[in-house]
A and B are shown apart, each in its own frame.
Chain A
Amino acid sequence: EAGVVQSPRYKIIEKKQPVAFWCNPISGHNTLYWYRQNLGQGPELLIRYENEEAVDDSQLPKDRFSAERLKGVDSTLKIQPAELGDSAVYLCASSSGGPFYGYTFGSGTRLTVV
């Protein structure tokens, strides 16, 4: 089975520009997460989806970040406008749902804002 697929793998943009990341979770996984991982740190949750509903977006900087999961499958995370401090790896993960399932992470998108 295919794992969690993310694209692009790398992205370099100038500050104030928009950027979008795409994630395709494992088939049948209803729960989808976006995490941000800074260098030398653990992943930090940005948003969690149950099907198409965002059930936890308390850590998402809503002034510049947005996310959607249309039809409860693929998801897109957008930053507009990007700032230098947004440079990080953006990880998408999916799970079968519930609190007792491990996450399957994608390879991530490494964003560099210059």
Chain B
Amino acid sequence: GQQVMQIPQYQHVQEGEDFTTYCNSSTTLSNIQWYKQRPGGHPVFLIQLVKSGEVKKQKRLTFQFGEAKKNSSLHITATQTTDVGTYFCAGRNSNSGYALNFGKGTSLLVTP
């Protein structure tokens, strides 16, 4: 079945440094979504990417979808302590119907 792999598993940065997490799928995805989960919280929807090569920005966050629609990345510029949490990618392909398959997430720790 479809697997969505994320790296790194953990990342510890100093406030102001950049951060990137990568998501890779074994199969072509119809779309990919990104979620953020704060410690002790629940996943919160950030964004969806659908088109090959798509790039979307939300303030300091930049999301990319690969040309082959098998990988994606989330880049945070100049991290802040409020960025702390676990970032999950979740992909969907034609075989999974409407179900999203989540990666294991990248936990980001930002120290001031």
Contact = CB atoms under 8 A, between A and B. Distances in A.
Our verdict on whether A and B bind, yes or no, reads: yes
Interface of A: 31, 33, 35, 40-45, 48, 55-56, 91, 97-100, 102-108
Given A45-B100, A56-B99, A99-B30, A106 B42 contact: yes
A42 B98 contact: no
B39 interface: no
> Could you say which of B42, B88, B99 has the most chain A C-beta atoms within 10 Å of its C-beta?
B42
Q: Which 4 A-B pairs have the closest CB atoms?
A: A42-B102, A102-B45, A105-B42, A43-B102
Contacts of A103: 33, 35, 43, 45, 100
Given A41-B104, A45-B99, A103-B43, 13 more contacts: A35-B102, A41-B105, A42-B104, A43-B43, A43-B88, A48-B98, A91-B43, A99-B31, A100-B48, A102-B48, A103-B35, A105-B42, A107-B42
Contacts of B45: 102-104
Interface residues of B, number: 23
10 contacts: A43-B43, A44-B102, A48-B99, A99-B30, A99-B97, A100-B31, A102-B45, A104-B45, A105-B42, A108-B42
A interface secondary structure, majority = loop
A42 B48 contact: no
A21 to B, nearest CB: 14
Interface of B: 30-31, 33, 35, 41-45, 48, 50, 88, 90, 92, 97-105
A33 B92 CA distance: 15
A45 B98 CA distance: 11
A78 B48 CA distance: 32
Contact of A42 (B30, B92, B97, B105): B105
A97 B42 CA distance: 20
Nearest to B41: A107
A31 B33 contact: no
